[in-house]
Homo-oligomer: A and B are copies of this chain.
């Protein structure tokens, strides 16, 4: 078996989860990839932090060029988060002939044309399955497995923080503030929850879904977006009395005239709809398409190991294509 060498950008929560998952499930991963997979260099300043994994000190670097210029590195995994320098690093890696894998929805959504064009120009693979729905393999399904369809609609619960908050308000009678505090205590919401509760994260993911499903790039800033900060217990009770639950839905639909409608906003969902059963911090993406009718994918939308599952799935796909 050949060895595929990886340069990893960032050893935070997701990077650590990816490193750990590769150690835990090496047989499964290398068996599918048909290759040894080795993370050979890691761009990370914080060398000394105890992450519960053993990383040889010589793997760390603070100079990204050491990764871009290493002719032995086949794949760069970008797990820095944030738009920059992540997007520029990904483009630079592509221009050096590296395949790129990322979980970074903000960087992908804000730079979709630039990054996909750089990938095409350099003839390399650009895989970003983990950027929407975490572990759920929705992007691969939409791009390939279900691509025989004409897509007409997508409804996504693509932000775990807001789904958790709405779930606790709906089932435990918590106020918005209580549920947000509870989410923060459990690690489902950040200290500054703005990007989640204002719907910005969901808009990033909807931008990526629209690009893949409908071949149109809409910058996330151009997606009408309403978060959940105005949702009160009264509104949740009103929904209940109408046999509905309130979910933050990322929605796009192709109208009969060929125009696309898209929006992120809190939405009434009938209690018998599959999306109503997406509880706690789970994510789900529900699509309509002309052959399959209706289909839904459900799973964990975040977390180090679930995200690592999708990142490593992308790595395996590249490895299989390199045979």
Bound complex: CA A312 to CA B25 (Å) = 32
- Structural contact, B298 and A293, CB atoms closer than 8 A: no
Binds B, one of A55-63, A114-122, A129-137, A176-184: A129-137
Bound complex: CA A102 to CA B136 (Å) = 26
Of all chain B residues, which has the CB nearest A291? B309
- Structural contact, B309 and A149, CB atoms closer than 8 A: yes
> Of B146, B297, B300, which is within 8 A of A309 by CB?
B146
Question: Mind listing 27 A-B residue pairs with CB under 8 Å?
Answer: A24-B150, A25-B291, A28-B150, A29-B148, A32-B144, A32-B148, A135-B291, A136-B295, A141-B145, A144-B313, A144-B320, A145-B313, A145-B317, A147-B316, A148-B309, A148-B313, A148-B316, A274-B274, A274-B278, A277-B277, A290-B305, A292-B299, A295-B300, A296-B296, A296-B297, A296-B298, A297-B297
- Structural contact, A293 and B277, CB atoms closer than 8 A: no
- Structural contact, B306 and A293, CB atoms closer than 8 A: yes
Chain B residues positioned under 8 Å from A141 (CB to CB): 137, 140-141, 145
Chain B residues positioned under 8 Å from A28 (CB to CB): 147-150
Chain B residues positioned under 8 Å from A140 (CB to CB): 140-141, 145
Bound complex: CA A144 to CA B136 (Å) = 13
Chain B residues positioned under 8 Å from A145 (CB to CB): 129, 137, 140-141, 313, 317
> Of B136, B148, B277, B305, which is within 8 A of A312 by CB?
B148
Is A216 an interface residue, CB under 8 A from the partner? Answer: no
Chain B residues positioned under 8 Å from A272 (CB to CB): 277, 279
- Structural contact, B150 and A25, CB atoms closer than 8 A: yes
Bound complex: CA A313 to CA B145 (Å) = 5
Q: Which 9 A-B pairs have CB atoms at the shortest separation, nearest pair first?
A: A295-B299, A137-B145, A148-B312, A291-B309, A277-B277, A135-B292, A296-B298, A32-B147, A291-B305
